[in-house]
Amino acid sequence: MGWLGRVDGILLDLGVSSPQLDDASRGFSFRQDGPLDMRMNPQAGPSAAEWLADASEQDIVRVLKEYGEERFARRIARAIVAARREQPITTTGQLAAIVAAAVPRREPGKDPATRSFQAIRIFINRELDDLRAFLAQVLEVLRPGGRLVVISFHSLEDRLVKRFIREQEKGDRFPPDLPVTRVQLRPRLRAVGKPVRPGQDEIRANPRARSAILRVAERLTGAGE
């Protein structure tokens, strides 16, 4: 309770970190072979390997489409189910090879396993649910004039953040036929500047930043606050 309305700034750097990606034992990377875990907290919930062992083909398709926007989700899910009949899928190398063999066409400059690994990781860790829950509390914590800064690394995260800022810029929701003025809508946030993307120099220095997008919003003082 002591933080309510008192925080000057919040920085969210979303997704998996470089130390997690670089540690093969965490199971996040398709570039290094390791146990297929992917959990942010290794003690919480099922690992990626455990989920893939039990999930139905339809559930795998849904996760790959919803969280990875994978166009070949059905092919990949079918290949995963066929492969696990032969032997358990327990390593990142196994999963990456299964996905690569199932994908008929590759995106230039992108490993075929990228979207599948992203989708399974987001699902296993409930990342979008956690982001929604956090954003719901931002307005209670930031003081007027305080700023929210969010760095997203894929379109699913960025859409959530963009929608949240736009909704708070509109202010309170009233029935469409209620005669209220724009002033009475009490906007709570305003976007600051345009979204920022890394330049070529930054991408050369840090290739993992290539998909990053940064958004900034400022907390406003609403009527009665």
Rounded CA-CA distance 111/114 in Å is 5
Q: Which residues of the chain have pLDDT under 70?
A: 1-5, 109, 171-185, 222-225
What integer pLDDT is reported at residue 192 of this predicted model?
Answer: 92
Architecture in CATH for domain 7-15+128-219: 3-Layer(aba) Sandwich (3.40)
Where exactly does CATH 1.10.150.170 map onto the chain? 33-125
pTM of the predicted model as reported, rounded to 2 decimal places: 0.82
What integer pLDDT is reported at residue 61 of this predicted model?
Answer: 97
What integer pLDDT is reported at residue 35 of this predicted model?
Answer: 93
Domain 33-125 - what CATH class?
A: mainly alpha
Contact in structure between 212 and 197 (CB atoms under 8 Å): yes
What integer pLDDT is reported at residue 184 of this predicted model?
Answer: 54
What integer pLDDT is reported at residue 222 of this predicted model?
Answer: 59
Where exactly does CATH 3.40.50.150 map onto the chain? 7-15+128-219
What integer pLDDT is reported at residue 223 of this predicted model?
Answer: 42
pLDDT digits (tens, 9 = 90+) for 7-42: 889 999 998 878 888 788 888 888 889 999 999 888
Encode burial over 46-82: b for 16+ CB neighbours within 10 A, e otherwise.
ebbbbbbeebeeeebbbbbbebbebebbbbbbebbee
What integer pLDDT is reported at residue 173 of this predicted model?
Answer: 56
